Structure 1
Amino acid sequence: MTSLIDLEKAGKIEKTGATVKLPTRLNNLGTENMDVYRIPLKYLYYNDKNGRISTAIAGYHDELNPVNDTVDPAYNDFVAKLIEQNNPAALKRTQKSIQESGQRICGYVLEDGRIVDGNRRYTALRNLQKATGKTYYFEAVILPFSYDNQTDRSKIKKLELAIQMGVEKREDYDPVDLAVDIYQTTTGDDAMMTLADYVNVANMKKKEAERYYQGAVYMREFLKFIGADENNYHLIKENQIWSPFYEMGKSLANNFGDDDDSKVQKNETMNSYFGLILHDLHVGVSGTPARTHMRDFTQNIVKSPNLDEFNDEVSDAVEDLADTLQESPINNTTDLMTQLTEANDNISQFGDTYDTYMRDAKNGESVEKFIKSIKDSVKYYEDLNNNGGLAGTLRYGEISNEQLKQLQAYMRKLDGLCKDLFNKYGNEIR
């Protein structure tokens, strides 16, 4: 492993003369300004633990080895391409700014060359060096930490969050990246920090962080369900289906308890949600419409007395759908769509059942609305009668005999209609 601190001691890395203060305190660091160094690009590499990058490369973890360019530039080249594809316009602006005015904002790197902050600036510098043949340097603070040291990991993550959630706008953080980052940072025996710590450092609301965490949990369950690598989050981003998992996480948390029966029902409902997500993907529904479908499903079926019946009716189709999807490896969207075509009969069966239950639910909702409108009308006439037959502040002295006769005629007609409707409803009773 290359040590930037050793290289600095050997005179291969020099200070710029500038100093900065960390955006957060890390033990004894942060109370004083720290030196900024000019670091040759070949000694640096992208941070595979970064929320955004880890999501993008998750499906390639067996093929990629995070190392600097002196060992193998393939890793940096791969990540650089992802960064450029994510926001080419922003990268061009950064590259132009650096070319004209130099690097204005320093980055942060670990002693082994791992970049904690400054990925886009580093990418721009690599591009300029390749395009011009000139030597460029990444100006950054060198932090005496390493991911190899368990106690250092939480400090590194704290700094990363302080920078990304403090300096950058939260909305620039892709929701899938954020969900995965929360999950990876707070899960497992060697978690970098607790969810409460993450919430505090990232300046998030606890409920919001919990929903993102649950969304990540169900993304992973979904990826296993279809036979993909549970870390292949790129499938979720590419198909714009994050919001269904966010909605699903809220629903399953709010509508089911912790007893054994509830856990069984919750698991069955989770599979039904997966069936709906796959059905929507097959027919081309994603983004906001997919989120709306999930909310409708939650409101009209999950919260209804018919949930168990629905789960029973679709269970065979959903199970067969999972079996078909798992027959061949799913590594990308093309693989997924191919397998969904193979499972067309199962998807159609699920869709037909779903449409039937939703139609019945909405018809039932319409009936309730209709009955309420009649109830409101009855209430209006009750209030009219209680007020002596007049509305508001009207007085009989204000009404002519001709107008009173009109009111009588309307009431006689209304009386006849009420008798007809009463008999009609009575005849329909089964």
Structure 2
Amino acid sequence: MLKETNISKTEETKKLTIDGLTKIYPVYKIRISELYYNDQNDRIATWISKYKAENNVSAIDKTDTNHYNNIIAEFIKKSDEAAFKKTMNNIKAIGQQEPVIILTDGRVIDGNRRFTCIRELSKDDEKFNYIEGVLIDKDIEESKKEIKLLELYLQHGREERVGYTPIDRLVGIYNDIIENELITVKEYARNTEQTETEVKKLVNRAVLMVEFLEFITMPKHFYIARELDLDGPLNEINTVLNKVNDDEQKEDLKNVIFNIIMVKPDGDLTRYIRNIKPLINSRQFEPFLEEQLNHAEKVQEWIEESDKDVDLKFLNEEIRGNTEMVEEISESYDKYQERIKKSETKSAPKKQVEKAIEAIQNIDKMILISLEDEKTEEFLKTLNHLEKEVETIKDEVGKDD
């Protein structure tokens, strides 16, 4: 619990809605040495996963609060250095304008960046030894759901609050909705002012992210998804998979796409994945799928034979740096892209004729009846021209070069 000697009530207040009740809460000045970061904050989830992986620990040690805070502070700074500097300069110039939200045990559940800026400023100016905040009498273990819903509202539910990267948000969705089942899709949607359909799409994307990390044998190493900038590709995968009706083919294609992401044969992976769509439901799809699956198996065999642990360095230098392997996948992909383009070119005349037929069918017959003599003559002249063009095309069909 916070020491009373390190807290003083101000004249400021803050309106908050907690547990469905909107109240006016007093704002306090609290000594920053009393506070600590919320390690369950979605904004830093990917950074914490990286720290755990690099230090081979299951959690960051909180025994030494200052040391713990210093570790988390670095995550906050690195997550958006420009925003951090801007906020810090603003607080230095005009003071803290928005209170942070704090649990009575000192855990900061909203306002990590402001807390980090004030900690940094306090190193040179003791007037920043205190931070303004609203105290919420909740226990993180007993009120996990209520605290999470409040955090979601504060971070996502208001227009002016922006800052989470797409991957950070997906990690939070996976942890809160899927793995821990802390909140429902409906609750998440309500507290972030999104539709349930939008949240369901995010849930699907979060599942794909987790499946990809499992595919590259780095389960829950969420920082990998952030550093590989996977939000765009993950979003595109579902639009591609939704075009496949057969469940087995859908699973195979997902693995093919995961392999493409891992190998990265092109700089724009989102576009690269999107261009698979025309292959689906064409005669080229099955041979493309089979060929790419063979390449994916070769990559997995090569990884196993290398006898090295897969990490970000190995992924970037060894896998993506294997020119021969990357070129094989790229050449196979390009081959089928060319085939589908040729197929589309050959079918283009038929599609153009179909459009012409549709245009003629859409002519309003009532307008033709009411045309003046001069306009009727012009129309018939144009129609005769059309008939001649049709005859010319019919004469060309089937001719040898």
> Tell me, what secondary structure is at the counterpart of 2:341?
helix
Measured after TM superposition, the shift of residue 203 of structure 1 is 1.1
Structure 1 position 80, deviation (Å): 1.9
Largest Rg, 1 or 2: 1
Residue identity in the other structure for 1:278: M
Unaligned runs of 5+ in 1: none
How far has the Cα of 1:295 moved from its partner? 2.0
The change in CA–CA distance for 1:135 and 1:305 in structure 2 (over 3 A counts) is: same
Partner of 2:34 in structure 1?
Answer: 43
**Which of the numbers 268, 292, 306 marks the counterpart of 2:252?**
268
1:412/1:141 Cα in 2 relative to 1: closer, same or farther (>3 Å)?
A: closer
Letter in 1 for 2:26: D
Distance 1:86 1:107 in 2: 19
Q: In structure 1, the residue corresponding to 2:181 is in which secondary structure?
A: coil
Structure 2 residue identity aligned to 1:44:
L
**TM-score normalised by structure 2 residue count:** 0.84
1:61-94 CA deviation, whole Å, 9 max, x = no partner? 35474466x7153432233223223333332332
Q: What aligned pairs does 1:5-404 form with structure 2 within 5 A after superposition?
A: 7-8=3-4, 11-22=5-16, 24-26=17-19, 30-61=21-52, 63=55, 65-66=59-60, 71-132=64-125, 136-149=129-142, 152-169=143-160, 172-188=163-179, 190-228=180-218, 230-252=219-241, 254-255=242-243, 262-279=246-263, 281-285=264-268, 290-297=269-276, 299-325=277-303, 327-332=307-312, 334-341=313-320, 343-375=322-354
Q: Residue 216 of structure 1: CA displacement?
A: 1.4
Task: Provide, for residues 216-249 of structure 1, a one-character-per-residue CA deviation record: whole Å limited to 9, x for no partner.
Answer: 1111211222232x22232222232311111213
SS in 2 for 1:148: coil
Distance 2:327 2:229 in 1: 22
CA contact (8 A) 1:111 1:142 kept: yes
- Displacement of 1:120: 1.0
In structure 1, C-alpha distance between the alignment counterparts of 2:183 and 2:387, rounded to whole Å: 75
Identity %: 28
Does the Cα contact within 8 Å between 2:284 and 2:340 map onto a contact in 1? no
Contact 1:108 1:115 in 2 (8 A): yes
TM-superposed deviation, 1:154: 0.8
Other structure's SS at 2:18 match: coil
The alpha-carbon deviation at position 381 of structure 1 amounts to 9.4
Q: Can you list the C-alpha shifts for 1:98-125, whole angstroms capped at 9, x where unaligned?
A: 2233322111112332211011110111
Paired residue secondary structure (1:162): helix
Contact 1:59 1:231 in 2 (8 A): no
Q: Which residue of 2 aligns with 1:422?
A: 397
Counterpart of 1:315, as a letter, is: L
Matches of 2:358 and 2:238, distance apart in 1:
41
Contact 1:59 1:331 in 2 (8 A): no
Offset, 1:165: 1.8
Partners in 2 of 1:236 and 1:273 — Cα distance?
15
Q: CA deviation at 1:373?
A: 2.3
- Report SS of the residue matched to 1:77: helix
Structure 1 residues 399 and 185, CA gap change in structure 2 (3 angstroms): closer
Q: Provide the secondary structure at the position in 1 that maps to 2:124.
A: helix
Q: Distance in 2 between matches of 1:56 and 1:180?
A: 11
Q: How many residues align?
A: 392
1:192 maps to a residue whose letter is: L
Contact 1:45–1:67 at 8 Å: present in 2 too?
no
Comparing 37-46 and 157-166, the one that deviates more: 37-46
Give the superposition deviation at 1:17. 4.1
TM (norm. structure 1) is 0.78
Sort the Cα spacing of 1:336 and 1:282 in 2 relative to 1 into closer, same or farther, 3 A: farther
Partner secondary structure for residue 397 of structure 2: helix
RMSD: 3.5
Q: Structure 2: how far apart are the matches of 1:422 and 1:66?
A: 74
Preserved contact between residue 20 and residue 33 of structure 1 (Cα < 8 Å): yes
- 1:342-379 per-residue CA deviation (whole Å, 9 max, x = no partner) reads 54333322222211222211222222222222455678
Letter in 2 for 1:108: I
